Amino acid sequence: MSALVAGCASGGGPDVVHAKGLTAAVYEPDGSSFDILAEGVIVDLGSGCLGLDRTSDHQKLIVAFPVGTTLSGHGTISVEGGGTFAVGDTVR
C-alpha cells in the first residue's frame, strides 16, 4: 500500500473520497509498487481525516491512498490491489 503525505481538503491538492464521516486523500499511482512510504498506525486525525501515526517518531501525517481506494462508515479502507485496513491497524 502506498501512503503519501497529502491533505484531506479538496481544492488544488489531491482528490478525496468520503464515506460516513471519513475522508481520505487519493492520488493517481504512477506504476510504482504499492509499498508504503512510512510505517505506522492508521488514525483519524480529526474530523474523519485519515492519516498515519508514524512508528519511528509518532508524528501524525496526512496520507494519500491510490485512486480506487474505498472507505466504509466502519473505518475500513479498501485499497485496490493493496488489501483492506481499518483505523487502528498498523501498516508497514
Over the stretch 25-80, which tens digit does the pLDDT of each residue have? 888 877 665 555 778 999 999 888 899 999 899 999 888 888 889 998 677 899 88
Range of the domain at 76: 4-91
Q: How many domains does the chain have?
A: 1
pLDDT band at 4 (very low <50, low <70, confident <90, very high): very low
pLDDT band at 19 (very low <50, low <70, confident <90, very high): confident
Q: How many whole angstroms separate alpha carbon 30 and alpha carbon 56?
A: 27
Helices (H) and strands (E) in the chain, counts: 0, 10
Instruction: Identify the bridge partners of residue 62 per DSSP, sorted by sequence position.
Output: 51
Q: How many whole angstroms separate alpha carbon 55 and alpha carbon 58?
A: 5
